[in-house]
Structure 1
Amino acid sequence: GTLSLNGGGGKLVLTDGQIYVTPGGKITTNNNSQIISIGGKTIVNGTGGNSTIQATNATGVLFGSSAQDGLVQNSTLPVALPVKFINFNASRQGKDVQVQWATASEENSDRFDVETSTDGRNWATNGSVAAAGNSNSVINYNYTARSIAGTVQVRIRQVDIDGKYTYTDIRTVKGDFDGSVKVTAGSGRLNIQFGTEVKGATVRIMNLNGQVLQEQKFTSAVGQVTIPTNYKGICVVSVLSETEQVATQKVIL
């Protein structure tokens, strides 16, 4: 069938989800202000007047939250792969991130690439898990991403035997720093103890006006540090981790 946006300002707005265009189906617009929006992103617009997105010999899918964001008219539609996910979860296990997912069915599936990102824009493949290939029953998968410090985003790229692929939604896993910090002072030094080991901790000593008097960064993972200091009086100690979590405490040196 055909989905047509006719008249000035015709819009189809979805808060989330996907739109599938089966072979022979198409989406048409005939006005610059006619759009389709998914998750706040304009996926189709009628720039230039008449435009058409059409699936010919394969089902096309428009995503609102994946690498296909921003797909516009006259673009080649990505192929929807015959793999049905029924769950996808990622959780922290100490310094590692445990990724689990399951499929209800698979057809010509080659592998699952587990991708991670710290900013939601730049992604890297952390590892891959071989797929079943063809299946009509539930299959559970798991993968452990080792030594992942800080908050990280995780997604799965499912690749079929022809090299075509699609993405899952994104899961966010918080960092391993629990935020608990104990600061004690004495004899010209600061003793700082973390509730858990922290990688890339930065310690700042400031006066009451916020002026930084001393700063030290620890690139390796630490659970406790001692910092010599010549400053005397009341000061504020701030501790930052790579996850941008901050602990602040006032001490007397």
Structure 2
Amino acid sequence: MKRIYFLLSMLFIAYFSSAQTCTTPANGVTYTSNCTYTSATDVNIGSGGDLTVSGDANVEFTVNSYSIGGNLFNYGYLIVDEGSTLTINGDLVLEEFGVLEVYGTLNVNGNVTSTTGFSFGDRLIVGSNGVVNIDGDLDLTGPLGDGINGTVEGELNVTGTSTGTGNLPVELTYFQASSEEKEVTLEWGTATEVNASHFDVQRSADRNNWETLGTVEASGNSQVAISYTFEDSDPLPKAYYRLKQVDFDGVFEFFGPLQVALAGVEMPMELLVMPNNISNGEQVQFNLSGLDVGNSIEITVYNNIGNIVYTESEKYITSEVLLKPMNFTSSLGVGMYYIVVKSGKETIKEKLLIK
């Protein structure tokens, strides 16, 4: 009897393990369930090959690189549908006539590059609910140095350098919001601007459906600090706000979102670290919400043995929500760090991994 139980257990384990292994990436494959694929090679499913991650699948590839390519008559596609997640532990390469479409979440723990010479049509498409997280460099310049065409309506987060995109013309230094009974004031500042046309101020009740409230003209080209302000005179009790920065070529990038509640509407203090998995020396952003105007903020970073490695404070908060770029990681080694933020009687904690 024990042997039967043992054999049944082994069969169950074997079945469960095989069910978690992805079908080998190939043209026409669609992943609809959670799985992983590991190969110590460069993966290329061929010219004009299409691969899709759909449903609520969470798929992970661990490879040297994954390439998307095609030809003039048959483009190749990598598509991540809304609600699904694809993580590539390795590099992602956009080859000639390759198209990347992201409507869900794409995580690339490596570099993203392009070998495209001429960009016929959009090659990088990030939908309004799409999120692309690149833990590495983004270089889309290509062999001709012209970059590629694309549309980014969702989030494009890059921990390393970004070149050849044409949609990163503004260096934002802060983005904050404050509310009164019948008004929300948004404030932001830039350190530099290149080819910047304007900012569209957008609002959403659910972070999915966005409306444009108004437009603020940018300064075009600038190497000095510039501040901007926008007032929402008909706010919602609770809402998200973001900035859509558009350059003169029509290419755009989003900043935010920030969550804002009107005075009298309770919202607990929260901290979002973006990204929370970085390399030494890379910049992170702290998205703080639920702050009380007039209080101070104390930020303390601890290493994994409890020693303080960084502190910063602001004596008087002028807004309930603050997006704050942070540059403190260059002196830190590899490991897990713990961020503690205190304001008034509230304390919140988050983790930051440096590798």
* Structure exhibiting the larger radius of gyration computed from Cα positions: 1
Q: TM-score scaled to structure 2, two decimals?
A: 0.35
Output the TM-score relative to the length of structure 1: 0.47
Higher-RCO chain (CA-CA 8 Å, sequence separation at least 6)? 1
- Structure with the higher strand share, 1 or 2: 1
**Higher normalized helix content (fraction of residues):** 2
